[in-house]
Amino acid sequence: MSLGTAQDRRVKTALDETRLLILGAQILFGFHLNGAFQSGFSDLTPQSRALHALSFLMMAIAIALLIAPSLQHRLVEAGRASNRIVAVSTRFAGAALLPFALSLGVDLYIVIGHRFGAAAGVMAGSAFTTMAIAAWYGAEWLMQRPKPATKPVGEEEETPIDVRVEHMLTEARVLLPGAQALLGFQLAVMLTESFGELAFATQVIHVGALCCTCLAVILLMAPAAFHRITYDGENTESFHRLGSALILAAAVPLGGGIVGDLFVAVEKGLHRPAIAAGVAGAAFIALVSLWLIQPLILRAKRRR
């Protein structure tokens, strides 16, 4: 499938790069949920368990930032390629790498410090956080080239339907890996002995989060099924609208699954429901702001 203009190809490349970042983020995100239910987690110091909660929140924010451009592309641009969405993807991906790097360092401190002492944990965590920031920010800034002139918004060309469908399916693949990984960890957690020790209300919250993630996976896989079965692989405006609606709908239960299990893991680690609710509330505000409020405000401004 031809991607048409250079602008179309830049959007596709930005989405593909976001998929790469999501694949890395899902590993750390899943570790935080699964780690809270491991037998050795209760042996961690209170400071390490608190850092685990903070690191989990940072990874939730990183994932929120990585997914936000795809939802803006659906809500604001209606799937059309634009210079603005390329710039937004670049800006949000850059912002997501900072909490990713910090979370990586904190997690290394927790696991290495637990086995080899706090000094070794601090050294490993600090070293790899520094390396990540240098590799993800420092080298890029040193080698950054002047940006080429871009067309004003009013001069951007109409995006062909084939390109818009390709972008829409790519955005489904941006959201799907995180949902699949979270679902796998959620299922595994329910088979641990530690899960049975949770308060009944916390168990119910986890089951609710599990059901939310199941729904998100079903919705994210539906566009491919519709494309093959109903539309016989043909790219049409009606399929693009349907696929876009399914992706947007999937973001709601996916956010519910992330927030719900963030509460469960923090409550499991700290045994402080109020703190767990505060951490989950902060993630909820970040998700709603990045995935819903900001795109709707931008769409309203564009229509005016």
Distance between CA atoms of 285 and 38, rounded to whole angstroms?
Answer: 29
* pLDDT band at residue 156 under the 50/70/90 scheme: low
Q: Considering only CA atoms, which of 291, 295, 67 is closest in space to residue 173?
A: 67
What pLDDT is attached to residue 42? Answer: 87
Distance between CA atoms of 133 and 110, rounded to whole angstroms?
Answer: 19
**Residue 52 three-state SS:** helix
What pLDDT is attached to residue 181? Answer: 83
What pLDDT is attached to residue 2? Answer: 44
pLDDT winner (highest mean) among 119-128, 149-158, 163-172: 119-128
Q: Considering only CA atoms, which of 182, 33, 6 is closest in space to residue 107?
A: 33
What pLDDT is attached to residue 55? Answer: 94
Q: For residue 3, is pLDDT > 70?
A: no
**Residue 9 is encoded by which pair of tokens?**
């190809």
What pLDDT is attached to residue 277? Answer: 96
User: Is residue 1 situated within a structural domain?
Assistant: no
User: Is residue 245 situated within a structural domain?
Assistant: yes
Residue type, 7: Q
**Domains: count for the chain:** 1
Q: Which domain holds residue 293?
A: 6-303
**Residue 85 is encoded by which pair of tokens?**
């969405």
What pLDDT is attached to residue 147? Answer: 60
What pLDDT is attached to residue 26? Answer: 82
* pLDDT band at residue 1 under the 50/70/90 scheme: very low
User: Is residue 71 situated within a structural domain?
Assistant: yes
User: Is residue 285 situated within a structural domain?
Assistant: yes
pLDDT tens for residues 229-266? 999 989 999 999 999 999 999 999 999 999 999 999 99
C-alpha triplet 278, 91, 62: angle, nearest 5°? 30
What pLDDT is attached to residue 142? Answer: 75
Q: What letter would DSSP give residue 134?
A: I
pLDDT tens for residues 11-59? 888 888 888 888 888 888 888 998 999 888 989 999 999 999 999 999 9
**Is pLDDT larger for residue 151 or for residue 282?**
282
Q: Considering only CA atoms, which of 291, 279, 304 is closest in space to residue 32?
A: 279
In which residue are the tokens 């239910």 written? Answer: 37
Distance between CA atoms of 126 and 205, rounded to whole angstroms?
Answer: 35
pLDDT tens for residues 160-206? 899 999 999 999 988 888 788 889 899 999 999 899 999 999 999 99
What pLDDT is attached to residue 149? Answer: 54
pLDDT tens for residues 129-150? 999 999 988 876 777 666 655 5
Distance between CA atoms of 269 and 276, rounded to whole angstroms?
Answer: 9
What pLDDT is attached to residue 180? Answer: 86
Q: For residue 292, is pLDDT > 80?
A: yes
* pLDDT band at residue 154 under the 50/70/90 scheme: very low
Instruction: Indicate the pTM of the whole model.
Output: 0.87
Q: For residue 300, is pLDDT > 80?
A: yes
Long-range contacts of 196-204 (CB under 8 A, 24+ apart): 198/264, 198/267, 198/268, 199/267, 202/263, 202/264, 202/267, 202/268
What pLDDT is attached to residue 15? Answer: 87
Distance between CA atoms of 81 and 251, rounded to whole angstroms?
Answer: 21
**Residue 112 is encoded by which pair of tokens?**
């290495």
**Residue 156 three-state SS:** coil
